Structure 1
Amino acid sequence: MKRFIFILLSVSLPILVVAQPSLKLPSILSNHAVMQANSNVKLWGWAACTIPVKIVCSWSPTDTITAMPCKDCSWKVTVKTPQAGGPYSMEFFSGNEKVIIRDLLMGNVWLCSGQSNMAFSYDWGDLDAGDILQSCKNNFIRFFQIQQGFNDYPSADCKGEWVVCDSTSMKNFSLIGYFFGSELYKYLKQPIGLIGSYWSGSCIQSWIPQYVFKDTVLQRLGDDILPMIWSPVALSVLYNAMINPIVNYKIAGNIWYQGESNTDHPQYYGSLFKALILSWRKSFHNEFPFYFIQIAPWSGYQGINGALLREQQATALSLPKTGMITIGDLVEDTTNIHPKLKRAVAERLSNLVLSEMYNADSLQAYQPHFSFMKIKKNKAILTIASIRKLTFRGQTIHCFQIAGQDKVYYSAEAEIQKDGTIVVSARQVKCPVAVRYCFTNAAMPNLFDINGLPLVPFRTDHW
């Protein structure tokens, strides 16, 4: 009997050992990755829970970092990265197993997220990309594009790989993301890592983590969306599959271009958008800067829903470390929801980021915006916050509207005064109370500051 037990144990023991999980890293921790330089970054993965994981980084080869996996076989540890540069490598050990990550660069990592205008790639037919395929190859710009997926529950990993920027990889990546990263590289001369997480036609509700919707008000807002043919719309499903797997990865910031799919109920967008920003920062354990692009003019929205959505987007500026650009002048055709001047959009966005985050003081990156209004008889006198007095392009200033107590808006005439104020009036309105500028779906601004940036759309009423 004893001999039988010994034989049984001898046969069973190897099976138990084989059943232990092998050493595995998430897809984003892989060859050619760009990691945030001079920062405390997390490394994580999975391994047998009874064997410590040991890590050796080539920038500090005499230091061995040890992490003990938890009962679920996951492990996580924090390491200090060096200054921008490379290439470096990392070696991971678990018992007899070994994984090596090679060709690592240290630099600046940015997440590029949103829907189709962020997903817009070279092959979509951009009009201002020029001959970029001939000159885009750059070992110091790298992409990690997350494969599209959705899940009812948070995923631990995603599919994707780091690739070096060249004419093949760039064509498949967000064009705004590429040009944004290219401008950062030109100024900083440091490696740039760009993570693409976007889905054409997606609504904001699917990008927000589930716990946010425990709030009864937000739950009501979250559920109020109709099915779409382009993208899954269930709460949190894109966050679960395309954001949660990378929340341990240290990023410098995020750029966001989304909102077109939420114009059916624009009044909800501000609350949802601010919830998304705050929840992502919480998930990443990182108060990273969040920059976004107002949706472009398009004639296909109902009523003035496009203008209302843009107004709701702007409410996110009340949160710290946020920035916004408006792009109403960068549209060649207001019947196309996908404007084809992505390079100009990316350059405007990168100028703002470089100015605010990287001390590029020479860049005049701020757009003029409405400050306050005074009424004098039948005229509204507007004060604009700007660098210099605004100028207009074309024969006349257009896209102003004015209304009286009856709340009926009429097209208005506008004149720029010597002191820079703008006087707005319409013969139908004897006692004005409110003014709007570019507050329609497809209005394109023609008032500009000395830095070439357009006046941000606004309204003075809350009707």
Structure 2
Amino acid sequence: MKRILFFLLLLAPEAWANVSLPAILGSDMVLQQQSQVTIWGWANPTERITVTASWGGQPISVTCSDQATWKVVLQTPKAGGPYDITIAADNKIVLKNILIGEVWVCSGQSNMEMTAGGGVKDAQAELPTAYNPKIRFFKITKTAANAPQDNIRGQWATCDSISLKNFSAVGYFFGKKLQNTLNVPIGLIDMSWGGSYMDTWLPEAIAMLYPETRHSAQTMPKVPWCPNKPGVLYNGMVAPITSFAIAGVIWYQGESNRHDAPAYHKLTHLMVDSWRGLWQKDFPFYFVQIAPYTYNGKFQTAAVREAQTKAMDIPKSGMVVTTDLVDNLKDIHPVYKKEVGNRLAGWALAETYGQNVGLYKSPQYQSMQVEGNKIRLTFDNAPNGLQAKSEVLTEFEIAGGDRVFSKAQAKIKGNTVEVWAKDVQKPVAVRFSFRDAPEPNLFSKEGLPVIPFRTDDWDLGLKQ
């Protein structure tokens, strides 16, 4: 009898949960300016919830569904604050010190995840003067799940020496540049997992949609530091925040997908398309090309970089090149991240916010012309010409019809480069920095490194 009474008490309305919110909605957060933002949560079925924002407008009321969920949509003003939001039902929640500004997701694997506390030297130098009340951080706790989740773990924090120490250094420098230039509050959501595969960041059904992406998903190596099942990081870390309005995404990942580089281009398209669909916004997506590192293979990383370059065919996307930002080719984690974040911010400021930031795109191979025993290469994004950072240009190779590449000599002529080799009299193809750990020295006059490339499409011998 006592057990029956206890069970009935559990079912009584008084025993049900009070109105509650997901972790991403909290005091100190930043909401996307001039947007329709969703405020949502849980309560008793049929309970009446009223949401009031201190920036004005009428309170909005809604009745909780029979699934014990509710949501309302608020129109945010121009950047500013601080504001409060009150959620009133049988109980009351007041979210305080809310700013309105620009919100960006910072995602990827370890090079996005790396922090000042994890050894990022230029982020360590920021710690003494890090306090900035107009930059707010939300670091999502690592969570993998077999089905989409409705909540995450984490909380909003104001940027200071304590919160910065354990936040994405790339994300911080990106956000700091935006905040200094735009003079609006910046919210940064760190959604990263070291060693993670792209296949785990998109819905499993999407990852398995095409033969090439299905092969990648089914052949992810098993490692002790991250899961290798498609979709599980999407389920645990992405799905719970897709109702939270954002401006865009920055992404630094790709090293782990060396196992199937040919699939990476398609995977990137699928991930961006699926995320944009889930957020119901065609947001910008700016990403970092993986840095040189001495791997075991010759072309695996080069092929990933090539796939990343091709992924710039995604609308509203852009890529940062990092071939010049490596201090140790035997360290997969370059310890300087400030310039990476600044270059990402250059893309965002120019393309998303219409700011005049000068040249922000790396020179990119456009075309080639055979001229006797030489090949002349032309480049986009080099309006003022090219420069070498040392006397002899490095990382050029040239091949004839036998497809055997030889180390080449190269000479800059304006925004073109002539390439030749004594033992290749009838050249047909050129490669530049097309290996795992290149050390190129070809830049635009503005100091941005040329994107690695090859003019051929010959089989690289990578297994699929």
Q: For residues 160 and 352 of structure 2, what CA distance do their matches in structure 1 show?
A: 27
1:5 is matched with none
Please tell me whether the aligned partners of residues 47 and 73 of structure 1 are also in contact (alpha carbons under 8 angstroms). yes
- The secondary structure found in structure 2 opposite 1:353 is helix
| Cα shift at 1:15 | 4.9
Task: Give the equivalent residue in structure 2 for 1:305.
Answer: 300
Match of 1:33 among 26, 29, 32: 29
- 1:353 maps to what in 2? 348
**Contact 1:253 / 1:289 at 8 angstroms: preserved in 2?**
yes
1:226 match:
221
Q: Contact conserved, 2:216 with 2:259, CA < 8 A, in 1?
A: no
Residue 428 of structure 2 is aligned to residue 433 of structure 1: yes
Residues 398-426 of structure 1 show CA distances to partners (whole Å, capped at 9, x for unaligned) of 10000111111111000112x43211001
Paired letter, 1:396: V
Give runs of aligned pairs for residues 70-109 of structure 1, distance below 5 A.
70-94=65-89, 96-109=90-103
User: How many angstroms apart in 1 are the aligned matches of 2:52 and 2:311?
Assistant: 42
2-side partners of 1:171 and 1:242: how far apart? Answer: 21
For 1:345-424, list aligned pairs within 5 A.
345-385=340-380, 386-417=382-413, 419-424=414-419
Amino acid at match of 2:259: D
1:295-343 deviation digits (Å, cap 9, x = unpaired): 0000124121111100111222111111101110011111110011101
CA distance in 1, matches of 2:11, 2:257: 53
1:53 pairs, out of 49, 68, 73, with: 49
Equivalent in 450, 454, 461 of residue 445 of structure 2:
450
Alignment gaps of 5+ in structure 2: 459-464
The alpha-carbon deviation at position 220 of structure 1 amounts to: 3.1
- Matched residue count: 452
Query: Which has the higher mean CA deviation after the structures are superposed, 72-81 or 254-263?
Result: 72-81
> 1:43 and 1:347 mapped to 2: Cα distance?
32
> Which AA in structure 2 matches 1:367?
S
- Contact 1:368 1:387 (8 Å CA) reproduced: no
Q: Which secondary structure state, in structure 1, belongs to the residue aligned with residue 117 of structure 2? A: helix
2:282 equivalent in structure 1: 287
Q: Which digits, 9 at most, give the CA deviation of each residue in 1:92-128, with x for residues without a partner?
A: 122x211111110000000000000001100222243
**Aligned-partner residue type, residue 341 of structure 1:** Y
Are the aligned partners of 2:383 and 2:415 in contact in 1 as well (CA < 8 Å)? Answer: no
- C-alpha displacement of 1:14: 8.9
1:148 to 142, 145, 155: 142
Q: Equivalent residue for 2:206?
A: 212
Q: Once the 2 structures are TM-superposed, how far is the Cα of residue 216 of structure 1 from its aligned partner?
A: 4.3
Could you tell me how far 1:76 is from its partner in structure 2?
1.7
What letter is aligned with 2:183? Answer: K
Post-superposition Cα deviations, 1:206-257, rounded to whole Å, max 9, x if no partner, equal 1111231352423333212121111011111111111111000000000000
Task: Tell me, in whole angstroms, the C-alpha distance in 1 between the residues paired with 2:340 and 2:357.
Answer: 19
Could you tell me how far apart the structure 1 residues matched to 2:28 and 2:287 are? 28
Among 57, 63, 66, the residue aligned to 1:68: 63
Contact 2:117/2:124 (8 A) holds in 1 = no
Q: State the alpha-carbon separation in 1 of the partners of residues 106 and 284 from structure 2.
A: 12
Q: Secondary structure at the match of 1:383?
A: strand
Partner SS, residue 264 of structure 1: helix
What is the letter of the counterpart of residue 400 of structure 2? G
1:171 is aligned to: 165
Structure 2 match to 1:3? none
The aligned counterpart of 1:253 is 248
Q: Aligned AA for 1:106?
A: I
SS in 2 for 1:122: coil
Instruction: Output the TM-score relative to the length of structure 2.
Output: 0.94
Partner in structure 2 of residue 336 of structure 1: 331
Q: 1:161-200 alignment to 2 at 5 Å?
A: 161-200=155-194
Alpha-carbon RMSD across the aligned residues, in angstroms, is 1.7
Residues 14/339 of structure 1: CA separation in 2 closer, same or farther (3 Å cut): closer
| Matches of 2:427 and 2:317, distance apart in 1 | 34
- Report which stretch shifted further, 100-109 or 261-270: 261-270
The answer to whether 1:243 aligns with 2:243 is: no
Q: Decide which structure has the larger Cα Rg and report it.
A: 1
1:392 alignment partner AA: A
Mapped partners of 1:13, 1:448: distance in 2: 72
Mapped to 1, the partners of 2:228 and 2:62 lie a distance apart of 38
In 1, the alpha carbon distance for the partners of 2:372 and 2:68 equals 74
> Contact (CA 8 Å) 2:208, 2:217: kept in 1 or not?
no
CA distance in structure 2 between the partners assigned to 1:173 and 1:420 by the alignment: 40
Alignment TM-score, normalising by the size of structure 1: 0.95
Instruction: Single out whichever of 258-267 and 208-217 deviates more from structure 2.
Output: 208-217
Paired residues of 1:150 and 1:237 also in contact (CA < 8 A): yes
1:4 maps to: none
What SS does structure 1 have at the residue aligned with 2:206? Answer: helix
Aligned identity (percent) is 39
* Structure 2: distance between partners of 1:181 and 1:16: 48
